[in-house]
């Protein structure tokens, strides 16, 4: 059975009434380490390195976004994770682990669903 993708194009997200610009990105706003948040929606990010941009709302209401890049197997699974962001459910709570790279950019280490 083929898995269903649930990722918007940027235009599709806007047409669906979503506001990606509300979500902040960068080492000054995305918590370094581990945090819990609800995955609100996902948008394809095209460029030199294809990615899925994940839009999260944290417990305090802060809205952040992170990119999960395609790996060698052409899947969107962070390094130590098991969740393929191409198919994972939205409107679900996740535990997200990020670190800073040597170039001081954000790298997603894992995204795992929380069972509540």
| CATH numbers and ranges of domains, the chain | 10-113 (2.40.50)
pLDDT level of residue 102 (50, 70, 90 thresholds): confident
Asked if 64 and 49 count as a contact pair (C-beta separation under 8 A), the reply is: no
Question: What is the 3-state secondary structure of the chain?
Answer: CCCCCCCECHHHHHHCCCCHHHCECCCCCCCCEEEEEEEEEEEEECCCCCEEEEEEEECCCCEEEEEEECCCCCCCCCCCCCCCCCCCCCCEEEEEEEEECCCCCEEEEEEEECCC
Predicted model pTM: 0.91
pLDDT tens readout for residues 21-37:
999 998 899 999 999 99
């Amino acid at each position: 059975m083929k898995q269903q993708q649930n990722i918007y194009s940027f235009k599709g997200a806007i047409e669906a009434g979503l506001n990606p610009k509300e979500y902040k990105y960068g080492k000054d706003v995305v918590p370094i380490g581990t945090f819990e948040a609800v995955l609100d929606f996902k948008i394809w990010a095209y460029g030199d390195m294809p990615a899925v941009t994940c839009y999260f709302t944290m417990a305090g209401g802060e809205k952040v976004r992170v990119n999960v890049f395609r790996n060698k197997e052409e899947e969107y699974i962070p390094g130590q994770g098991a969740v393929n962001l191409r198919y994972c459910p939205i409107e679900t709570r996740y535990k997200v682990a990020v670190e800073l790279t040597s170039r001081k950019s954000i790298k997603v280490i894992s995204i795992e669903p929380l069972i509540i």
